[in-house]
């Protein structure tokens, strides 16, 4: 196994848009992003992953074949990344690969991220660290979110009450109040329903800039029904996914005569209100909140958050020196580094685990 400080991080999240790949240099005190790449999923692959979220005959066979296909896509993303950086695979210590979440049931003691890390190691010639969530769940935790430990390392400000908000398919926040340990949890939906509704009615994978949502009007009755989901009032530690928030659940809250743009506008407010409620469950409105993930590019959502958080500066992590698109992938490179060093990667106060645990399984090259 290489002992160089270069590690690849791969992240493919709940939004199912594609693979984020980063090459991270850990040789200095400050973590450095050397290169980044993005490999989008095809619409056919997105549909296949979505279909596997529902149990049906033959799903195990399909899931295992899809895991092989994902390993090939991850390998292609690594090849593209290293080509961009001009770096040989032989000098990379490891790949930290999150995999594609298919089931997340911490209350039942399991989580499943679709992946074939052995095949990925074989295809790339690089050691792979994967399956980061299972050990935390085995220790009684939620197995998510795992990024708050990374947020604390790179984004904490000693004299400022700062929150990092990751707006992927699911929204999770990390509260970094001065003098207090980091607190973090999934606060509700991020892009997951916005993207699904846009895909169904516009034929587009996402509502660019939130422009379609901005063209609609808020439906207060629908918003009340959506916010009645018990997850929003559940105290942390907590985590969620498509098990709780999906199109079938949304459809059950619709009357049937809503304009599609109005539904989109209401879903955008659902995300914003979920964040606002999450801040109340944490430590109240912070001095500043920095967004990362795909939702950081939704101008209408940023505007809604700023209107709701009038005492808070709302910006993206770009202002802190890390582009919002790559924060999560960098976090999984960092988690892989922790695993290789035999160091814990979870925050028990965030996940609810019984204590610090070394996360992930190593597949040597």
Q: Determine, yes or no, domain membership for 1.
A: no
The answer to whether residues 313 and 330 belong to one domain is no
The answer to whether residues 32 and 122 belong to one domain is yes
The answer to whether residues 89 and 13 belong to one domain is yes
Domain count, the chain: 2
The four Cα atoms 272, 312, 295, 83 give a dihedral, to 10 degrees, of -160
The answer to whether residues 46 and 90 belong to one domain is yes
- Beta-carbon contacts of 322 under 8 Å, excluding residues fewer than 6 positions away, are 33, 154, 292, 330
The answer to whether residues 271 and 168 belong to one domain is yes
pTM: predicted TM-score of the whole model, two decimal places: 0.95
CATH number, domain of 196, equals 3.30.420.40
The answer to whether residues 103 and 202 belong to one domain is no
Structure tokens at 244: 């709780």
Burial grade of 97 (CB within 10 A; 0-12, 13-18, 19 or more): buried
What is the per-residue pLDDT across 56-81, written as a single tens digit (0 to 9) for each?
888 999 999 999 999 999 999 999 99
pLDDT higher than 60, residue 281: yes
The answer to whether residues 27 and 94 belong to one domain is yes
pLDDT, mean of residues 123-138: 98
For 146, what's the count of Cα atoms within 13 Å in the CB-facing half-sphere?
A: 29
What is the per-residue pLDDT across 292-312, written as a single tens digit (0 to 9) for each?
999 999 999 999 999 999 999
What is the per-residue pLDDT across 243-261, written as a single tens digit (0 to 9) for each?
999 999 999 999 999 999 9
Name the phi and psi angles at 24, rounded to 5.
-115, 135
Q: What rounded mean pLDDT belongs to the chain?
A: 96
The answer to whether residues 180 and 298 belong to one domain is yes
- Beta-carbon contacts of 268 under 8 Å, excluding residues fewer than 6 positions away, are 194, 210, 213, 298, 300, 301, 304
Calculate the alpha carbon distances from 203 to 169, 196, 198, 200 in Å.
18, 10, 7, 6
Structural domain containing residue 296 = 148-320
pLDDT band at 1 (very low <50, low <70, confident <90, very high): very low
What is the per-residue pLDDT across 142-187, written as a single tens digit (0 to 9) for each?
999 999 999 999 999 999 999 999 999 999 999 999 999 999 999 9
The answer to whether residues 38 and 162 belong to one domain is no
Distance separating alpha carbons of residues 57 and 312, to the nearest angstrom: 50
The answer to whether residues 287 and 269 belong to one domain is yes
């Amino acid at each position: 196994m290489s002992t160089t400080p270069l590690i690849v991080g791969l992240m493919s999240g709940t939004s199912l848009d594609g693979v984020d790949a980063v090459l991270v240099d850990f040789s200095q005190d400050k973590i450095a992003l050397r290169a980044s790449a993005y490999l989008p999923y095809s619409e056919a692959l997105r549909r296949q992953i979505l279909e596997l979220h529902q149990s049906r005959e033959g799903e195990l066979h399909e899931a295992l074949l899809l895991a092989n296909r994902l390993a090939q896509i991850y390998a292609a993303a690594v090849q593209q990344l290293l080509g961009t950086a001009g770096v040989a695979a032989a000098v990379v210590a490891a790949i930290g690969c999150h995999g594609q979440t298919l089931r997340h049931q911490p209350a039942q003691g399991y989580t499943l991220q679709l992946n074939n890390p052995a095949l990925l190691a074989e295809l790339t010639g690089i050691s792979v660290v994967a399956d980061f969530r299972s050990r935390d769940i085995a220790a009684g935790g939620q197995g998510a979110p795992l990024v708050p430990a990374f947020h604390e390392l790179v984004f904490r400000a000693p004299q400022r009450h700062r929150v990092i908000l990751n707006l992927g398919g699911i929204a999770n926040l990390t509260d970094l109040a001065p003098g207090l340990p980091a607190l973090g949890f999934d606060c509700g939906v991020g892009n997951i329903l916005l993207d699904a509704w846009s895909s169904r009615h516009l034929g587009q994978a996402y509502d660019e800039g939130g422009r379609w949502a901005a063209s609609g009007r808020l439906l207060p009755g629908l918003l009340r029904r959506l916010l009645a989901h018990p997850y929003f009032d559940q105290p942390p530690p907590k985590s969620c996914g498509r098990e709780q928030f999906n199109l079938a659940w949304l459809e059950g809250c619709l009357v049937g005569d809503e304009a599609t743009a109005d539904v989109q506008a209401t879903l955008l407010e659902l995300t914003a209100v979920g964040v606002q409620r999450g801040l109340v469950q944490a430590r109240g409105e912070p001095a500043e909140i920095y967004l990362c993930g795909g939702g950081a590019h939704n101008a209408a959502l940023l505007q809604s958050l700023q209107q709701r958080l009038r005492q808070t500066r709302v910006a993206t992590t770009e202002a802190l020196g890390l582009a919002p698109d790559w924060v999560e992938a960098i976090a999984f490179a960092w988690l892989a580094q922790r695993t290789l060093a035999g160091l814990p990667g979870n925050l028990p106060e965030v996940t609810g685990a019984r204590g610090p645990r070394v996360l992930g399984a190593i597949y040597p090259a």
